[in-house]
Every structure is written in C-alpha cells, then in structure tokens.
Amino acid sequence: MSVKDESFRDSIATINEEGKRNIIYPRKPKGKFTNLRTYLSWVLLAILFASPFIKINGNQFLLFNILDRKFNIFGQPFWPQDFYLLVISMLIGIVFIILFTVIFGRIFCGWICPQTIFMEMVFRKIEYWIEGDRAKQIKLDKQAWNAEKIRKKSIKWFLFAVISFLIANTFLAYFIGGDVLISHITDGPLEHLDTLFKLLAFTTIFYFVFAWFREQVCIIACPYGRLQGVLLDNNSVVVAYDHKRGENRQKFRKTEDRDQKGYGDCIDCKQCVLVCPTGIDIRNGTQLECVNCTACIDACDEIMDRVGFEKGLIRYASENNIEKEEQFKFSARIISYITILSLMLVFLIALLFMRNDVEANILHLPGQMYTTKGDTISNVYTFKVINKTNRQFTDLKLNLVSHPGKVKIVGGPVNLAKGGLYQGTLFIDIHKNDLKSSKEKLKIGVYNQSNLIETDKTNFSSPIKIK
C-alpha cells in the first residue's frame, strides 16, 4: 500500500492506551449495501430460527445431536457410521470458505456470519432505536444516572436478555431437537432442570457476547479472522479505499479547485471511520479488524454524492484493481482451490450415491465356541441393523452370500421402523463339507424381499483343519 504510516497496526481500536476497553459507538449506517444486507439478514435469521422446527419426511431439517449421535442435514439423517460423510462435508465447507476468502475476502463475515448479523442487524438496531444514534449514545453514557438513563438502559438490557434467551432456545434445539425442546417447555422448566440450566448458561453467554464483548469476537476471538493474513492476496476483492484517487486528502471547500491544488477525492470527513463497527480507518489499508460490513462504502458514497464526486472511493476492489487498474483474474492458487473443491464434491456425491439404505453389523458372540450337530456346525452372533431411510422395512431377512448354509434369526425376520435400529441374535449353520478352514470368512446379505440391500462380513469358527 502507498500508506506509509503503519502505527495504526500497533494497537486495536477496542483497547485504549491504558489497556482498558474502548467502547465503539458506530454511527448508524444507511445506504444501498446496508439495505441489501438488511434484507439478506431477514432471510438468514428466518432460516436460522426455523431450521430446528422444520421437518422433512418427519426428520428435523438441521440437527446436531452429539450426545445421541444423530445428525440431520437438510432433513437427511446421518448415523455415527456415516460420520466420515460429515467430516468430508465439513472439509468441503472449509475449502469452500478458503476459496471464497481468496476471491472475495471476508465477505462471509459481513454478509452471512451469525455474529455480525445478530450484532449489527438485531442488537445494534435495538440500541439505535432506544438510545439513538452515535452522538446520543455517547451523551447518554457520559451523563449521570438519572430517570432517562435508567429507563433507556433497563429497556435495552431487558430486550437484550429476551433476545439472548430466544437465541439460546434455538441454539439448544439444534442439539437436542426442536420437538424435545418444545416438550421440555410444555412439561414445565422444573421437570427438566438440566435443560433449564443449559438455557440459562447459553443465554448468559449470548448476552455477554452481544451486550458487552461485541466486535471483540471478530477482532480477538474469531480464528477465521486471524486467517486473513495468509488467505488474502493482491487479487482478492475486499472493501478497499482507493488511495490513488483519495490521496492527497484535504477538507472540502466549495470554491476550491482540488485538481489544480493536487488534492485527492477524500475530503477527510471521517464518516467512514465513524460508521465502522470495529473502529478502524479503512483508509489505512486492509486490516484484520475489517469484517467487510460495507458500512464505510455507504457512508463514503453518501459524502461523494453530496460533494458531487463520483461514488466508489471506498468500494469492493482488489489491490491490483486499485494499484494497476487490473480486472479480477483467476490466479494459479484460485484454480488449484477450485480443482480440489470440485474433486472433493465429486467424491462426496459418489459416497452419497453408494451409501446403503440400511447398515448391518454382525459380530461373533464373544466367548462362544461353535457347536456341532451331526455334520452341521453352528455359530452364534449378535447383530445390529440400522435403517437410514424414512421408510419402514418389514420382514428383512439375512442370508449367507459366500457359502451355502442357513441364517436363523432369533425371533424371526427383522422389522425396522424409519430411522430405527434393530439388535438381535442369530445362528449360522453350515455343513462341514462347505468349510475349508477353522476360521472361515463369511459374507452375509440383508434382503428386502428378494433384493440384496446390504452385506457384512464375519468369521465362522469350526474344527475343520486347513486342507
């Protein structure tokens, strides 16, 4: 960057020279980008609050029940046995975010991240509504505790607590299930003290984050923010100040010929700084604290409009775009990320297609020897069949695929409810002439009518010597 003074990098805006918290009072943003982000935030908030309560084929739309090891993604149930699919999906998500960051910088932070959406579109808006814009908030905080201050602060903190409680309920519903949460609420809080405790703990955390910790989550705590330094390059499109056009910054005077005096288009009004929720000056260049919220673009565009200059002094642009007027190009790094992402997606889709409707696990009963009845040798097993679908299976049978012989399920054929699990015991009988060794590998099939829908392997013990 052409900016030479780098002293701004020695400190962060949220901490003052004595090392104490510096409260940031951003001016209320308004403009084209703020409007677009507001509309998008409504959609995202609706999805976030509704997802644990929407059902697809009877399954919760999104569920991350870690304790019971049940996961639903877009209404599709995943079992612990499918954990590898979740891990691959997460890896794809990470590569996607990296790719997105390399191309578009922290666009995720500004437009999609729940922290920014709740902070800027919910809590901050309530604050503006109750306490007014930046100047009024500063005045209120400075004034002594009178009736007005007590009233405004109490209403604000009460609303913050209510919204934190709502978020805590939604958050918990993702983990224990929307139905379970509703039943715990209707049973009464004292019937489920553990749920009540979790709700209060989450409410406290959310209240702390949105009422006090705020932008420090993005500046200090978020690991994604820390990654920017390695992900961004001169080709990445970020919220950027066009220093070539803006410098030499000078105050605006109507009668002055700025071109003749060699002034840039920045009139040093500092509106871009005053609206910034992380308290930085974007004119210093790309900084880790910038969450790409676009507030400074709107603020500067408004000023440019007022003074009759072209908009876009602060805009979405890459360093190369500003410095060399280059258009975006696909670098080798971007192409390699896209290739990796495409391969991973193809791999995931192939795995999803190969995923069976049911999963069977057949284990030799520990400590049990084979038994013989005439020429027939018998082994006993425990087995588990999981239904990964939303339909019911009746009369599932298990048969030997690799050998002639019989599988006898204790209690008869298996009936599996949708998403259900069946555990039982079975015997396998094989004629000694059909065995070649004392530890034979068997392949057993699960049949729905005459369709083979799953296979599993197990061992069969016998007194047969290797021929």
Give the one residue of 283, 315, 364, 388 binding ligand SF4; rule: CB under 6 A.
283
Question: Measured between alpha carbons, how far is 224 from 109 in angstroms, rounded to an integer?
Answer: 9
Q: Which range, of 161-169, 267-275, 322-330, 372-380, touches ligand SF4 by CB under 6 A?
A: 267-275
- Told to check if 24 binds ligand SF4 by CB under 6 A, we report no
Give the one residue of 149, 175, 268, 351 binding ligand SF4; rule: CB under 6 A.
268
Burial state string for 447-467 with b = 16 or more CB within 10 A and e = fewer than 16: bbeeeebbebebebbbebeee
Contact 397, 416 (CB under 8 A): no
Give the one residue of 231, 240, 290, 398 binding ligand SF4; rule: CB under 6 A.
290
Among residues 107 and 446, whose Cβ is nearest to ligand SF4? 107
Question: Measured between alpha carbons, how far is 55 from 363 in angstroms, rounded to an integer?
Answer: 35
Q: Which range, of 33-41, 146-154, 274-282, 409-417, touches ligand SF4 by CB under 6 A?
A: 274-282
Give the one residue of 130, 168, 313, 430 binding ligand SF4; rule: CB under 6 A.
313
- Told to check if 303 binds ligand SF4 by CB under 6 A, we report yes
Question: Measured between alpha carbons, how far is 403 from 322 in angstroms, rounded to an integer?
Answer: 72
Among residues 281 and 429, whose Cβ is nearest to ligand SF4? 281
CB 287 to ligand SF4: min, Å: 7
Among residues 47 and 307, whose Cβ is nearest to ligand SF4? 307
Give the one residue of 122, 239, 398, 414 binding ligand SF4; rule: CB under 6 A.
239
**CA-angle at 365, arms to 362 and 366, nearest 5°:** 125
Give the one residue of 295, 396, 407, 426 binding ligand SF4; rule: CB under 6 A.
295
- Told to check if 240 binds ligand SF4 by CB under 6 A, we report no
Among residues 199 and 299, whose Cβ is nearest to ligand SF4? 299
- Told to check if 300 binds ligand SF4 by CB under 6 A, we report yes
- Told to check if 292 binds ligand SF4 by CB under 6 A, we report yes
Question: Measured between alpha carbons, how far is 126 from 155 in angstroms, rounded to an integer?
Answer: 10
- Told to check if 266 binds ligand SF4 by CB under 6 A, we report yes
- Told to check if 13 binds ligand SF4 by CB under 6 A, we report no
Q: Which two tokens stand for residue 445?
A: 């099939």
- Whole-angstrom CA distances from 410 to 242, 398, 466 are 76, 12, 31
Q: Helices 32-50 and 295-307 meet at what angle, rounded to 10?
A: 160
Burial class (CB in 10 A: 0-12, 13-18, 19+), 312: middle
Q: Assign 122 to helix, strand or coil.
A: helix
Residue 50 phi, psi dihedral angles, 5° rounding: -85, -30
Give the one residue of 280, 360, 362, 414 binding ligand SF4; rule: CB under 6 A.
280
Neighbours of 55 (CB within 10 A): 12
- Told to check if 271 binds ligand SF4 by CB under 6 A, we report yes
Give the one residue of 102, 181, 276, 362 binding ligand SF4; rule: CB under 6 A.
276
Torsion angle (degrees, nearest 10) of CA 40, 43, 49, 53: -150
Q: Which range, of 167-175, 269-277, 377-385, 408-416, touches ligand SF4 by CB under 6 A?
A: 269-277
Identify the helix (H) or strand (E) that includes residue 456. Answer: strand 451-461
In the complex, the residues that contact ligand SF4 under the rule CB under 6 A are 239, 241, 246, 266-272, 275-278, 280, 282-283, 290-296, 299-300, 303, 313-314
